[in-house]
Amino acid sequence: MEITQTSPLTLAVIVGSNREGRFGPVIADWFLAHATRRTDFTVDVIDLADPDTDLPTSLSHDPAPAVRDRLAKVSPTLSAADAFVVITPEYNHSFPASIKNLIDWHFAEWQAKPVGFVSYGGMSGGLRAVEQLRQVFAEMHAVTVRDTVSFHNAHGHFDEDGRHKDPTAPDAAAKAMLDQLAWWANALRDAKSVRAYGS
């Protein structure tokens, strides 16, 4: 059952791969077709292959002006989000450095918000990347939802137009994950309206 609320939740979808020749846009387009059909979410997209999101790997508490300019293009979107979905491949038994870099440049933006995952890869379907991301987001005081969407041997499941060849199971998985995300986002948004989150 789709969760209803008085005003739509803001969902930030993070496309995690910035690798040349990546398969991520196919997965992202498929997922966004599901997320944008819902009335309980408005959707923003943060694509880590976009030059505007290319943050330096040398972290700083006092970023240079050029870095502040780049942060200004992504940080407000994260801050305004009620919930997140991270679309991640699995590279070498883990998730891409581009995702960790985005996470590490921020802190309060993640706090007391739910995170869902759409993963893809070979035999593991990206699930090892998701398990590691759960630990990282717990450190950021975020709540990860239990159900995920996972594509094992992802290239073989989509046709040349980016359509899933057998969509019944992944469609159901996407709905379940988004339903859980909406429940948590509503619950946490309501709680924060009564009492500020303390970390």
Cβ contact 44:73 at 8 Å: no
Residue 6: predicted pLDDT = 67
Any residues with CB less than 8 A from the CB of 88 and at least 6 apart, and which? Answer: 16, 17, 95, 96, 99, 117, 118, 119, 120, 126, 129, 130, 133
Please report, for residues 28, 64, 79, 167, the alpha-carbon distance to residue 159 in angstroms, rounded to integers and kept in the order given.
Answer: 15, 44, 36, 12
For residues 120 and 50, the answer to whether their CB atoms sit within 8 Å is no
Report d(CA 132, CA 95) in Å as an integer: 8
Distance CA 53, CA 97 (A): 13
Per-domain residue ranges of the chain:
9-59+68-194
Q: Each residue's pLDDT tens digit in the chain (199 positions)?
A: 454 456 899 999 999 999 999 999 999 999 999 999 999 999 999 999 999 899 999 999 999 999 999 999 999 999 999 999 999 999 999 999 999 999 999 999 999 999 999 999 999 999 999 999 999 999 999 999 999 999 999 989 999 988 999 999 999 999 999 999 999 999 999 999 999 998 6
The sign of the dihedral angle between the CA atoms of 40, 42, 48, 54 is negative
Cα–Cα distances in angstroms (integers) from residue 167 to residues 82, 100, 133, 172, in the given order: 28, 30, 26, 8
Beta bridge partners of 158: 164
- Sorted by sequence, the CB contacts under 8 Å of residue 61 that are 6+ apart come out as none
State the pLDDT at residue 159.
93
The CATH homologous superfamily of the domain defined by 9-59+68-194: Flavodoxin domain (3.40.50.360)
Provide the pLDDT for residue 41: 98
